[in-house]
Amino acid sequence: MPRRGLARKADGTPTNKTQRNFTDPQSHLMQSGGSYLQGYNCQLAVDSDHQVIVALGVSNQPPDVEHLEPMLVRIAASAGALPTVMTMDAGYWSENNANSCADQGIDAYIATGRLPHGQPPPPKRGPLPRNADAKARMARKIRCKKGAKIYAQRKAIVEPVNGQIKEARGLRRFLLRGIEKVSGEWHLIAATHNLLKLFRFRRSKQQALAAASG
C-alpha cells in the first residue's frame, strides 16, 4: 500500500513544517468530515451479494486515488478474480484509474465529484461532445439511467459495512500503534465481520429449510 514519510530536504533533514506524532510516528493527519484526525487510511473492498469483505489494506497516505491499484491486486489474490463491475466514490477518480480498470476488464463506475449525502447524480441527456475528456465520459456514464442505477448500489454494498464496523461494533479508534500492528487489527476486524456474515447467512438458510420442511 502507498506509504507516506516525513517531509525532508534533499540532505535528509526535516523541513520547518515537518510534524511527527510522538504517540504513533507512523500515523499522519487525515481529513475526516471537514476536520482532521491523526490516524490511518483504511481501505476495504466488499462483494455485492453478501457484504463480505474480499480485500483490505492500511496506509498512512490520505488520498484514496493511489490505493486502487494495490487494492485490485489484493482483490485478485483473495477472490481469485477481479470483479466485472466495480463502484467507487470520487476519492478514487483519475484517468489512470479509469484506464487501469478498463485494461483489466472491469466496468468501473467512479464518481467524478462529490454530491450532498443521499443526493443522486443529476441526469444527463443529449449527445456527448466529441472532444469530451475521460472525466466527462465517466460523469456521463454514472449519470445515465443504467449507470445511475448501478452506482446507487454502492450505498447498499460498502457503506453499510462501514456503519456496521464503526457503529454496531464500536470501532471508532484503533487500540494499537504503528502501521503493521494497525494493519493486523484491521485484518482481525474484517475477519470477524466476515465470520458474522457467514454465520448469519448459514443460520438463515437453516431456518428457511426448517420452515419449508414443517
pLDDT digits (tens, 9 = 90+) for 1-42: 887 766 666 776 777 766 777 788 888 888 877 788 889 999
How much is the mean pLDDT over the chain?
87
Under 8 Å CB-to-CB from 111, ≥6 apart: which residues?
88, 89, 90, 93, 121, 142, 151
Q: What is the CA radius of gyration of the chain?
A: 20
- Under 8 Å between Cβ of 187 and 171: no
Element (H, E) at 39: strand 35-39
pTM: 0.83
pLDDT tens per residue across span 120-163: 555 566 677 778 889 989 998 998 889 999 999 998 999 999 99
**Percent of the chain at pLDDT exceeding 70:** 90
Provide CB contacts within 8 A for 158, sequence distance 6+. 44, 45, 46
Beta strands (DSSP E) in 159-199 are none
**Four-CA torsion 203, 205, 211, 213, nearest 10 degrees:** -120
C-alpha cell at 164: 456496521
166-170 average pLDDT score: 89
Q: Which three cell numbers stand for residue 185?
A: 487489527
